Amino acid sequence: MIDLVRDGANWTVTLNRPDKANALSLEMLERLDAIFTDAAHSPDLRALVVTGAGERVFCAGADLGQAKDATSITTNPIWERVSGRLAALPCLTIAALNGTLAGGGFGVALACDLRIAVPTAKFFYPVLKNGFLPQPSDVTRMRDLIGPARTKLILLAGQKLSAQTALEVGLIDQIVKPSDFSSVIAQLTEAAIGGDKMILATIKNMINTT
């Protein structure tokens, strides 16, 4: 359900559960945790891309049907651990959003350095409506990206953003046609893949801490 392709300095992680809208089960989260742990210790890695299988949804969030008590998955500390490991990777990370992003799926996308999305993507995080709390780091990262007012628009007012609106407010960085995903990712990762790993990690750390 989680595919990993290692191509030299570039890794691609795919959420591969399109029949369930790529919803994240605990098993998938544990796999992501292991991948990002390995990535942190890879001497060759310069760029890591996270995307989803299918043409409609990047990730529908937590698989709420996995457990009798949905809070057992939504409150599991593995969400924060996974997004924290991804955010801390000393390489360029890109969320290639092949479709709609919802709920807990935000944790993966927000933890990446860059986000590109198809024109049909929608963005919503209906935690208040569903009676759950968002992950703390999701709130912080979203606020840092788009400001407190627009974060409240999503989390408190329950609004769904189009790809164009997400681009305008800074939630994503580019809108890309599905047929152009590969070429745009290659362009965005070219400097990182060809660069010095220590300089790459240092620049990223400077951006994140200043």
CATH of the domain at 10: 3.90.226.10
pLDDT tens, position by position, 29-68: 999 999 999 999 999 999 999 999 999 999 999 998 765 5
Q: Are 52 and 97 in contact (CB under 8 A)?
A: yes
Q: Which helix (H) or strand (E) holds 15?
A: strand 10-15
Q: Say what the pTM is.
A: 0.96
Rounded Cα–Cα distance for residues 132 and 18 (Å): 24
| Residue 208 dihedral angles phi and psi, to the nearest 5° | -75, -20
Structural domain span for residue 130: 2-209
105 pLDDT higher than 90: yes
Identity of the amino acid at 150: R
What are the distances in angstroms from CA 114 to CA 28, 78, 96, 137, 201? 22, 22, 9, 17, 15
End-to-end C-alpha distance for the chain, whole angstroms: 37
The tens digit of pLDDT for each residue in 142-175 reads: 999 999 999 999 999 999 999 999 999 999 999 9
Beta pairing partners, 92: 47
Structural domain total, the chain: 1
